[in-house]
Structure 1
């Protein structure tokens, strides 16, 4: 296997893990992919070692967990300060995701959760104090994820 390219087996394994990493055993994946369970285990280990698979994360329903407010902050950060700002942002209580865009204004998107308006206001004030320019706050209704079709073989 060429270490820089994902073959059909790798892509199929990744697809299955994206669909449900928690309830997918090597044996179950092997049945769907058409290789042995030991091959699946070795492939997963290799993909982890290469950094293709970087972790297994639960999908949280924040509203069910007691956080009814789910807000997306659209921010602008100076390019020279972005890495440090993002590092500091990940330490703010209520921040669940930070997305850095390549270029332009509105180059950082920050997803936050809270139980009441004051939680969101406090996070917005903290972001402002850190040096972000918050250009928009969007109350999210729902978020949907699916495995990438690029890995479905």
Structure 2
């Protein structure tokens, strides 16, 4: 067992699911690890129960879906209210992701989607009304995802 009780099989499962959860079967992982598919399914369930695997999310190309504007809105929240305001921001139509940042004044990052600049202006006003100060806004062109390499089996010993 390693940090947080994750062993090589747990890390291999997490790495495989991060790379492509939709197209990675328990059998595929089991074949690579030399264990049974039921062992992999049991481990996935255990990782979910422990809150390590928290969900499986669709990677949406908003532009192809008809929402031309995907923006990152950087906000400042009073630290005592940061968590509450970040959670409330998700309720604003068009907000698709909110990240709390632990350091610095720009401590809430909001990803929002809209069809035009009016949508984005409304979202900015709604965030301000909520109590978040909008500091900066950037249009996102692309998002690239990867899997955390430390979850690859053998990562600790360099293999």
CA RMSD in angstroms comes to 1.4
Unaligned ranges ≥5, structure 1: none
CA contact (8 A) 2:87 2:98 kept: no
Residue 152 of structure 1 and its aligned partner are, at CA, apart by 1.4
Q: Which residue of 1 aligns with 2:129?
A: 129
Equivalent pair of 1:99/1:110 in contact (CA under 8 Å): yes
Q: Provide the residue aligned with 2:45 in structure 1.
A: 45
Q: CA deviation at 1:83?
A: 2.0
Give the distance between the partners of 1:34 and 1:65, measured in 2 at CA.
40
Aligned residue runs from structure 1 range 112-123, under 5 A = 112-123=112-123
Tell me if 1:65 matches 2:32.
Answer: no
2:157: which partner in 1? Answer: none
Query: Take 1:84 and 1:68, find their aligned partners in 2: how far apart are those partners?
Result: 29
Structure 1 residue 110: Cα displacement:
0.4
Correspondence for 2:56? 56
Residues 87, 68 of structure 1: CA spacing in aligned structure 2 closer, same or farther, 3 A cutoff? same
SS of 1:103's partner is coil
Q: Is the 8 A contact 2:83 2:100 kept in 1?
A: no
| Alpha-carbon distance in structure 2 between the residues aligned to 1:142 and 1:124 | 21
Give the drift of 1:32. Answer: 2.0
Q: TM-score, normalised to structure 1's length?
A: 0.95
* Greater alpha carbon shift after TM alignment, 78-87 vs 135-144: 78-87
Deviation track 1:51-82 (CA, whole Å, cap 9, x = no partner) reads 11111111111111111101000110001121
In structure 2, C-alpha distance between the alignment counterparts of 1:2 and 1:128, rounded to whole Å? 44
Paired positions, count: 153
Report if aligned partners of 1:13, 1:33 keep a CA contact under 8 Å in 2: no
Report deviation, 1:33. Answer: 2.4
Is the alpha carbon distance of 1:3 and 1:134 closer, same or farther for their aligned partners in structure 2, counting shifts above 3 Å?
closer
1:67-86 superposed matches below 5 A:
67-86=67-86
Which position in structure 2 is the counterpart of 1:145? 145
Report the Cα offset of residue 132 of structure 1.
Answer: 1.1
Q: Is the Cα–Cα contact under 8 Å of residues 69 and 115 in structure 1 kept in the other structure?
A: yes
Relative distance call for 1:2 and 1:148 in structure 2 (3 A) is: closer
Give the structure-2-normalised TM-score. Answer: 0.91
Q: Please say if residues 77 and 132 of structure 2, whose CA atoms lie closer than 8 Å, have aligned partners that are also in contact.
A: yes
